[in-house]
Structure 1
Amino acid sequence: MTPWLRRSRPRTPAPTLPSRDTSTATTRVDLHELTPDTGVFLGHCAALHLTFFEQLSHAVANAPRVAEKDALAEAAATTLARYRGLVAEMGRLKLDPAAVMEPHLAGVQEFERRTMGADWHEQVASAHVAIGFLTDFWIRLGAGLPRESRDRVEAVLAQGDLERPLHAIIERAIAANPRLSSRLALWCRRLVGDTMLQARSALALHADRSRDEEQIEPVFTELIAEHTRRLDRLGLTA
């Protein structure tokens, strides 16, 4: 897979974010009508988690201090545990992991290339945004899986805490160099467009796209709102 050490190509602005709403929805909207076949779901989600693990492993190798290496190693271990959990579910369903993951690798690698960041700080910020956004997305998409698989997949995606160690790294970096704040805020904003496209690529869309959009729009509104809160907790402007 493409390493994070190379510089990214010129960046394009992400779509304009909707205005913020500080209220929290009492009912989480899901995507059960757009959930793909279980094998397709597991293959795509596992391919992403394998890529997350590789990205975080590269970040560990290039971290400037032991504290950052330790936090990133913790996050990488969590993504690996989730990946193994998804592969275990494939085994229960007698699916070949390589066969169900292979169709998704090209798209996942392209997403990785577009969001790798120009330096180590942007790499960590990319992981924080992409993993957080896409974990929220895949949990919602999993609502349409058969009951037993749905419960196991949701438990797998809830393993560990990826936000805390990545948040702590970025927070310390900004405290040490406040000038990073505006640059990382802009970079995180630019990530949203590609991350949304990666999420949409997992949907099983129908011929009637207008009906699909009625279900997609409120989910992505929620996801962007949580993305905004994630950056607000870092003092960044989404």
Structure 2
Amino acid sequence: MVFWSNRRIARPELPRLRPRVAPTDLAKVDFTELVPEPVPFLGQAAYIQLEFFESLARSVATAPTLSAKEGLSRAAGGALRQHHALIAELRRLGAEPVEVMAPFAPAAERFRQASAGADWYELLLGIHVTSGMLDDYFSRLAEGLPGELATRVRAILAEDEASAGVLHDELFAAIEAEAEPGLADRLALWGRSLVGDTLLIARSALRASDSRDRGADVEPVFTELIAAHTRRMDALGLTA
């Protein structure tokens, strides 16, 4: 179940302004040194898509209008298709999907609960921010997978512009119409609070190494993720 509470949680005020982050050249990043073995990579990516589907299903159930329900149901369908496509890749490798996904379930479920927010608007922004960042990240990391598998997985995880557009449009309309007093400020703060947990999930997907810290290797990828997040928030008129 998605955690759902109407209780407002006090969050410390953060600075409203920060430097814009420019896109980063990732050409020199060797993703083969970062990506884990194909089976655990696919298992984690597949389970995360299942979590996005659950969150989107909750957004459909609690949407205030029929138009929002219809649009968000299409977005939920997109996440479910991505999940099933990744499951199919696991089966092509001879792996049992449930067994492979199981180790990633606790962390992914905690992440979904933490990003659910306190109301429908925070839920939508949580999905918009976290799915955007993690789809970008797993797509980049998939470049290190072997051969044609890399091409197929990157195609699966390619941004679903229609789904992202539904989330953006619903949020933008609510912010522009000031659906609630202080909504823009509240969502800006909520969006900023999501970044840290999302990057922790991203870092957990890296290949484990006993010999050296992968932080410097992956830093350009994280910089680009934050840049894309900033652009996503800017498009909503929110300060990242």
One-letter amino acid of the structure 2 residue matched with residue 186 of structure 1: L
Shift of 1:85: 0.6
Matched residue, 2:100: 100
Shift in Å, 1:61:
0.4
- Give the structure 2 partner of residue 191 of structure 1: 194
Q: Please give the alpha-carbon distance, in whole angstroms, between the structure 2 residues aligned to 1:38 and 1:15.
A: 39
**TM-score of the superposition, structure 2-length normalised?**
0.90
Q: CA deviation at 1:188?
A: 0.2
Which deviates more, 18-27 or 137-146? 18-27
Distance verdict in 2 for CA 1:41–1:9, change over 3 Å: farther
Paired amino acid for 2:175: I
Q: Which runs of 5 or more residues in structure 1 are unaligned?
A: none
- State the alpha-carbon separation in 2 of the partners of residues 216 and 223 from structure 1: 11
Aligned pairs for 1:221-236 within 5 A? 221-236=223-238
* Secondary structure, aligned partner of 1:219: helix
Q: Deviations over 1:5-42 (max 9, x none)?
A: 23589576799997323466484856331111111001
Q: Which deviations, in whole Å up to 9, do the C-alpha atoms of 1:115-148 show, x marking residues without a partner?
A: 1101110000000000000000001111111112
Q: Distance in 2 between matches of 1:126 and 1:13?
A: 18
- Say yes or no: does 1:50 pair with 2:55: no
Partner of 2:160: helix, strand, or coil?
coil
Match of 1:160 in 2: 160
State the partner residue of 2:113: 113
Which range moved further: 3-12 or 75-84?
A: 3-12
Worse overlay, 27-36 or 72-81: 27-36
Percent identical residues: 43
State the match for 1:205 in structure 2.
208
Q: Distance in 2 between matches of 1:37 and 1:15?
A: 39
Classify 1:215/1:181 alpha carbon distance in 2 versus 1 (closer, same or farther; 3 Å): same
Q: 1:53-84 CA distances to partner (integer Å, 9 max, x unpaired)?
A: 01100110000001111121111011011011
- 1:4, CA displacement in angstroms? 4.0
Specify the alignment match of 1:122 in structure 2: 122
Residue identity opposite 2:206 in structure 1: L
Offset at 1:176? 1.9
How many Å apart are 1:49 and its aligned residue? 0.4
Runs of 5+ in structure 2 lacking a partner? none
1:3 paired residue number: 2
Q: TM-score, normalised by structure 1?
A: 0.91
| 3-state SS, counterpart of residue 36 of structure 1 | coil
Number of residues of Structure 1 aligned to a counterpart in Structure 2: 236
Supply the RMSD in Å over aligned alpha carbons. 2.4
